[in-house]
A and B are shown apart, each in its own frame.
Chain A
Amino acid sequence: MSPVLELDAITKRFGDTLANDAVTLDLGRGDILALLGENGAGKTTLMNILFGHYAPDAGEVRVMGRALPPGRPMAAIRAGIGMVHQHFALAPNLTVLENVMTGTERLWRPVSDTSAGRRKLAALSDRFGLGADPDARLGDLSVGEQQRVEILKALYNDARILVLDEPTAVLTTPEAKRLFATLKDMAAQGLSLIFISHKLDEVMAAADRIAVLRGGRKVAERLRGQTTKAELAELMVGRAVARPVRQMSPAGSPVLTARGLGLRQGGVDRLKGVDFTLNAGEVLGIVGVAGNGQAPLARLLSGTERPTAGTLEAFGQSLGSLSVPDIVALGMGRIPEDRNHEGVIGEMPVWENAVLERLPLFSRRGLVDRRRAMAFARQVIEGFDVRGATPRTRTGLLSGGNVQKLILGRNLIRHPRILLAAQPARGLDEGAVAAVHRRLLEARAQGTAILLISEDLDEVMDLSDRIHAIVGGRLSPAVARDRVDRQRLGLMMAGEWENAGAV
């Protein structure tokens, strides 16, 4: 059978970097192909070329044997390619129907045929089991529902080839399972699917075929039955990367305790009745699907927000009313969730970002002590291998991994007694992940108490001594790492923790 879609020797350059190097892929009717690769492997560029957002420097895209004109999204849509973006291409202020119908009619029609739109949407919802209220405001839907709208939008455009970019990044485990069931159903009905991922588990669970991308090149293509997770991991990273292993060590005395912690904003409980104790020399993991209260919790602990209920004490002192500089002075290190928007200010040089949260320490009578600040920045750069940086480099020029090293360095170099690490390895490539994990475990060995907030099950399982799940702003009781497995944690993340064996 001839392929529905062919990418033939696609090459794309950005400046000096080769984002795609003669990548060739094909997709048959009813296929589910996984595109596996690390961040920066060129997956997104390739899909943007497929979808006409970029024009390739060489090579062509063929649908049903016919070449698509390069750089024309409209042509891709007409040819039946639909894209489900990781950051949904949707508008929260508009309704589901409006989101789906945008750009589907001739622009100059004097009136939009919403009743036809409604009928078509309802038919698609039924056919693929993707229920959605057409008149609901999109912003009022859950993330999983929004994703269904995004898929419906592609189907509404009569897509026969569906590209999904990291579709499970925002889903709970049950939601992800449901999504894969839907995808298989769609394939059975004759649609062809490509999904992009860097998660080995889901690739093995859902794909028929797996193409591995590394450094812009397709390094391998395997049928699911003919490969293993271990092989895929090595193909993806290019070498066997060993993540550091946590050594057992006894925890010290409690340094940070939360009792009945709550945060209420705009009539909504962001956090409610949160209790935990963090001990010196341990990693306490808080795992959960995005949007379940991790961000508010991190803000409370970083001192950028005040609790509306309960107490938060470090070394017996209440943090509730302390400012950020006070909290930092107490010996708290903070790694923010969004390193590029919160962690650093891209337009400022590295040295200013190194000292900004500790300005009182690097100033005298209101004047910034540049010499000491520069020296500190140099120390961080050298000690933590921040590549491509001098103290005067504009921070925005650094890669994500190096920004994270800068943030880690400015905190760890001063041996904090507590370290708040929110999503410390998110979006980093495997090498950088290992480096970050090693640093965290080193700090733990030196007695730093680490509170790890993460959406990544593997990360939490690798690093934590004890684990809480966070769901809807509430914490499960802590469980010891050695007494849970992935399945049980998955259940806890879905809110089922009565029988999870609390300690």
Chain B
Amino acid sequence: MTDILAILASAGLWAAVLRIATPLILGTLGELLCERAGVLNLGIEGIMTFGAMIGWLAVFNGADLWTGILVAALSGAAFGLVHALLTVTLGVSQHVSGLGITLFASSFAYYLFRLLVPVAGTPPKILPFQPLQIPVLSDLPFIGPALFTQTAPTYLSIALALLLGWVLFRTPLGLAIRMTGENPHAVEAQGISPVLVRYGAVTAGSALMAVGGAFLTLSAFDSFIPTMVQGRGWVCIALVVFASWRPGLALLGALLFAFFDAFQLRLQTALGGQVPYQLFLMLPYLLSIAALAVTARRARVPQALMQPYRRGER
């Protein structure tokens, strides 16, 4: 019990929560954007993997960190375009297309990494994003180290969650995106092309996912390890349902999830091998499944999610 309290009272825990949450926030926002427009994107796991690799590779080859982020975003957008081509233009199964993107993007990432990075005993490193020193805030006792020692992309991800919330619920564009996910025929009837809206949402959403992946190699760690995404993409898909397709709730969900993850990591150390570590590692996945079971029935699913749109066909 005192162990648990000590963990909760450590600033390190809360700093870790934000760090762990960042890729989840970005991935969840990306998936949420795709699904709000009516496209399930199971490519997320592979797109995050590719973003992690290509962002890192760019920096490893001399680009600066933000260029690395940009490169990752562009690669994600490219995969998004492929997914949109298959699911929006051709209208093939969104499930299978997404899985195909994941298989392709991750194996392509491994291939390029192996091809372009010399094999070494320890994986090569880059100098990742450093914590931002924010005047006054970072110096506050406890609050400072707990909340204000993050790297720039973390703050960016939180800002993006708020921005996406604004766009979806306060702007004409957001309304068009939401309407496309609910009833693309209604959008068409208003003279807006649901096809273009879906292309845009899937492309932008996939770019966000890739940035989420790049955070892993450019901020959380400093090297690329195949399989490092570890199912985070699938967790994001669960978080979208949990958040009932709302960016604010997605931010909250990602933080909650990251809290449990950070907490179990520390609990694992505290318990010092009395319990197999695998049990702790299982928790995030089991938690996601539990969250789905609790929320799935109540969630207000976009009505046209996974419905291909063909002009003139109902």
**Residues of chain A whose beta carbon lies under 8 Å from any beta carbon of chain B:** 48, 51, 53-54, 72-74, 76-77, 83, 85, 87, 89-94, 98-99, 101-112, 157
Contact = CB atoms under 8 A, between A and B. Distances in A.
8 nearest interchain CB pairs?
Answer: A103-B190, A91-B182, A74-B191, A89-B186, A105-B172, A89-B189, A91-B183, A73-B191
Given A92-B303, A94-B182, A85 B189 contact: yes
Interface stretch (B128-136, B173-181, B216-224): B173-181
Given A83-B189, A93-B182, A111-B171, A103 B303 contact: no
A111 to B, nearest CB: 5
Contact of A48 (B182, B192, B312): B312
A74 B176 CA distance: 14
B167 to A, nearest CB: 9
A149 to B, nearest CB: 11
Contacts of B314: 87
Interface string B298-309: 001011000000
Contacts of A103: 172, 176, 179, 187, 190-192
B125 interface: no
B95 interface: no
B187 to A, nearest CB: 7
A102 B303 contact: no
B114 interface: no
Which residue, of B179, B187, B314, has the highest number of chain A Cβ atoms within 10 A? B179
Contacts of B303: 91-93
A402 to B, nearest CB: 20
Contacts of B189: 51, 73, 83, 85, 89
B185 interface: yes
A343 B172 CA distance: 41
B32 to A, nearest CB: 15
Contact of A107 (B173, B188, B302): B173
Contacts of B176: 102-103, 107
Given A54-B312, A73-B191, A74-B191, A106 B185 contact: no
Contacts of B185: 85, 87, 89
7 contacts: A53-B188, A73-B190, A89-B185, A89-B189, A92-B303, A103-B179, A112-B170
Given A53-B312, A110-B171, A94 B178 contact: yes
Given A54-B312, A93-B302, A102 B179 contact: yes
A93 B304 CA distance: 11
Contact of A112 (B175, B186, B191): B175
Given A54-B312, A102-B175, 20 more contacts: A73-B189, A73-B190, A77-B190, A85-B189, A87-B185, A89-B183, A91-B178, A91-B303, A94-B175, A94-B179, A94-B182, A98-B179, A101-B175, A102-B179, A102-B186, A103-B191, A107-B176, A109-B172, A109-B173, A112-B175
Contacts of A98: 175, 178-179
A73 B187 CA distance: 11
Given A53-B312, A109-B171, A91 B188 contact: no
A136 to B, nearest CB: 15
A90 B27 CA distance: 30
Nearest to B190: A103
Contacts of A53: 188, 311-312
A332 to B, nearest CB: 32
B195 to A, nearest CB: 13
B181 to A, nearest CB: 8
A102 B175 CA distance: 6
Interface residues of B, number: 25
Contacts of B183: 89-91
Nearest to A83: B189
Which of A51, A83, A90, A102 has the most chain B CB atoms closer than 10 A to its own CB?
A102
A107 B19 CA distance: 35
B87 to A, nearest CB: 20
Contacts of B170: 111-112
Given A94-B179, A107-B173, A108-B173, A73 B188 contact: yes
A89 B303 CA distance: 13
B172 A107 contact: yes
A180 B126 CA distance: 73
B186 A99 contact: yes
B182 A107 contact: no
Contacts of B311: 53
A107 B193 CA distance: 12
Nearest to B186: A89
A93 B175 CA distance: 12
Nearest to A52: B191
Contact of A91 (B186, B191, B312): B186
B260 to A, nearest CB: 30
A53 B182 CA distance: 19
B209 to A, nearest CB: 24
Given A48-B312, A94-B178, A98-B175, A107 B190 contact: no
Nearest to B312: A53
Contacts of A90: 183, 186
B185 to A, nearest CB: 5
Interface string B274-314: 00000000000000000000000000101100000001101
B275 to A, nearest CB: 42
A85 B186 CA distance: 10
Contacts of A91: 178-179, 182-183, 186, 303
Interface string B14-50: 0000000000000000000000000000000000000
B94 to A, nearest CB: 19
Contacts of A51: 189
Contacts of A94: 175, 178-179, 182
Interface in B179-218: 179, 182-183, 185-192
A53 B192 CA distance: 12
Contacts of B178: 91, 94, 98
Contacts of A76: 191
B160 to A, nearest CB: 16
Nearest to A51: B189
A92 B304 CA distance: 11
Contact of B190 (A92, A104, A106, A109): A104
B7 to A, nearest CB: 41
Nearest to B197: A107
Interface centre among A77, A89, A108, A109 (most CB of B within 10 A): A89
A106 B175 CA distance: 12
A86 to B, nearest CB: 10
A246 B171 CA distance: 60
Nearest to B189: A89
A94 B311 CA distance: 22
A98 B178 CA distance: 10
Given A90-B183, A94-B182, A112 B171 contact: yes
Contacts of B175: 94, 98, 101-102, 112
Nearest to B178: A94
A100 to B, nearest CB: 10
B302 to A, nearest CB: 7
A103 to B, nearest CB: 3
A93 B181 CA distance: 10
A81 to B, nearest CB: 11
